[in-house]
Structure formats: C-alpha cells, structure tokens
Amino acid sequence: MSSTLKISNLTKAFGPQPVLRNLSIEIAPKEFVSVLGSSGSGKTTLLRLIAGFDTPDTGVISIAGNKVAAEGIFVAAQARKVGYVPQDAALFPHLNVFENIAFGLKGLSKEARVSRVRTLLDLVQMSAFESSDSSSLSGGQKHRVALARALAPEPELILLDEPFSALDAELRGRIRDDVREVLDKTGSTTILVTHDQEEALSIADRVALLRDGNFAQIGNPREIYSSPVDLGVATFLGDSVIVAGVIESGKVVTSLGNLTPLNSSAEGSRGKVAIRPENFYLQPDLNGDSTVVGRQFFGHDAVVDVQTPKQLIRARSSGPFAPEIGMKVTVWVRGAVNFYPEG
C-alpha cells in the first residue's frame, strides 16, 4: 500500500522522561486521521516531529516515500512539504488576508500567485475578505485563512494542531465540517491531533488513540467506539458502565443478566464487561427492581441514572420518553458486549 506518511519505531524523550515509545503508523493518500489522546499523551510531540520542528531520538519518518527523519537524515521543516495549522491560527498580524495566504508562494509568478490565492479564498469562503486586516477577523475566519495558507504550497500532508479548541461549541462544529469539506475537495492527506473525543470520531476516517507514548488502538470511528481493545480505551472513549461477569455456557453472567460476549473466552473466565449508556433499555415497571435516581434532559435525549440491586448505572434514553426520577424500571442490555478477562 502506498502511503503519504509512514512512521516506524519512533521514540522521543525529554531528559529521562520518554514521551513516544516505538510508535508506528501508516497513513494513506487522501486519508484523514485523528490522533486522540489526553493531555501529556505525546500528541503535540508527534506533530512536531512530523513537521520537522523537533528531532526524533530513534525511528524513521517518511513523507510521500521520502525519508525526512532517520539515522543520519533530517530534512528541515520548510523542505518537507507539510502544511501546519496551529491551535491559535497564528496569522501574521502585519499582513492582510491575501498576503497571509500568499506568504509561502514566493516561487510563483505574480499571476500564478494571485490565481492560487483567489482559488483558495473561494474554497474557504473568504473571497470578500481578501484585503481585510487579519486582526479584524473572527476566530472562525482566522482558522479558514490559516487553512488556506497551509494549503497554498500544495503540501503532501496537512497537520491540524487542535485548531478548533478555542472556538465556541456551535462555531466549532460548523468550522470543523467546513474544514473537512475543503480538505476533501483538495484531496489532502490530513492528521488532526485533539483531546476531544466527539471531534475525533465525527471528522476522521480513522482514529489513532495515543496513550503512554504509543497507540493503544487504531481503527475507524465505529470499530474503535464499539469494540475498544481494553477497559482503558472503553472508559476513555465515551461513557461506559463496567460490570463484573463470568463466562458460563457461552454467556457472560452478570448482575444485569446473562449477556452475549462479542469475543470468545474460556468457560469459567472471570472479567468485566463495558456497556455503553445507549445499550441499556429501561422498561417502566411498577414491580421493577431498579429505580431512576437522576435525570439530565438534553431535548433530543436524556441521561438517566438508575440504581439497580447491585450498582448504579447510567443509561441514555430518548428525551421526550425518558423515565422520570423515582420511577421503577426493569433494565435490559441490548446487543452483545465486550468482555475483558482478568489478567
């Protein structure tokens, strides 16, 4: 498989503290990958190594088939054909919108430079702001210009460093969708680093979950959400209710009933299952053995806390029909569950 980016056995430490440990990944042309991780997981370090802002201790980074970092090899950032969009957009304050986008196009003729900038302005829906002062733009407009500036030299790879985190929630979602549309139109290969789980799942072709300096799991958003590789991933990537269980006759016997495991385990194996809130079904029942003790209403849905005989669970329910606090319910688990044996 051809790849725009290939990373093999990458390591990086700052003093005695290792940040990345033998990390490897391949990203295909035109693919959009979200690198998701908590603060301190190594996301920014990884992006800086790809961009050429830092040097790896060991390992190989190749872009479009060319090694840019390896033993005895280090290609400078400006020669890597990588576009970088920082968190704060970082537009040049002394340049207007046109000049910001044209900054990296000094090798082109005046006519070609004007054509390229105006094509990008149209693409990011900023044509009306060509002569505007960059300092006069809103946060969303600045990020559109920053993206156009990164795309201007036609890089092999675009790096997005949490570019939406400073925007308010409504604007963040809209700009995120617009950015993905622009990158699809340009056929760009893209890496987004983020700590926002919703953002990573909603925008990416694949999600790479970075934990303790390595990828705990890489997969498309559906599989990484539905089939976490371990309990740590299950609890990090969205809410999960953890319930102890034991395998008996092919089922996981738990306090919430006999559940079907997605993965096979030996008879008698003890472990835990991770159940997503949306996999619970709450049936109002005057004789039910569980009680609704909390309810958060969001309109389209609601999160309901239910005290079962053995433990407190959190379920997601349709907003208009979610059971009220104090109601008796019977709790059912829909679908198969992920079982994680002890040890």
Helix and strand element counts for the chain (H, E): 8, 21
How many Å apart are CA 220 and CA 142, to the nearest integer?
Answer: 30
Given a cut of 70, whether residue 1 has pLDDT beyond it is no
At 258, the amino acid letter reads: N
Strand-by-strand arrangement of the 58-63 sheet: 17-27, 5-14, 58-63, 66-70, 73-74
pLDDT at 296: 93
- Can you tell me whether residue 145 is helix, strand or coil? helix
Residue 28 confidence class, pLDDT cut points 50, 70, 90: very high
Give the tokens for residue 154.
Answer: 């036609």
Given a cut of 60, whether residue 112 has pLDDT beyond it is yes
At 76, the amino acid letter reads: A
pLDDT at 318: 84
Q: Whole-model pTM?
A: 0.89
- Can you tell me whether residue 35 is helix, strand or coil? strand
CB-based contact 188:205 (threshold 8 Å): no
- Can you tell me whether residue 308 is helix, strand or coil? coil
Contacts of 258 (CB under 8 A, 6+ apart): 248, 251, 252
CA atoms within 13 A on the CB side of 102: 19
Question: Does residue 207 or residue 17 have the better pLDDT?
Answer: 207
How many Å apart are CA 203 and CA 181, to the nearest integer?
Answer: 10
pLDDT at 282: 94
At 205, the amino acid letter reads: D
Q: What angle in degrees, to the nearest 10, is found between the helix axes of 169-186 and 110-123?
A: 130
pLDDT at 334: 92
pLDDT digits (tens, 9 = 90+) for 114-126: 999 999 999 999 9
How many Å apart are CA 43 and CA 254, to the nearest integer?
Answer: 37
How many Å apart are CA 289 and CA 308, to the nearest integer?
Answer: 7
pLDDT digits (tens, 9 = 90+) for 43-74: 999 999 999 999 999 999 999 999 999 999 99
- What's the full length of the chain, in residues? 343
Q: What angle in degrees, to the nearest 10, is found between the helix axes of 139-151 and 169-186?
A: 20
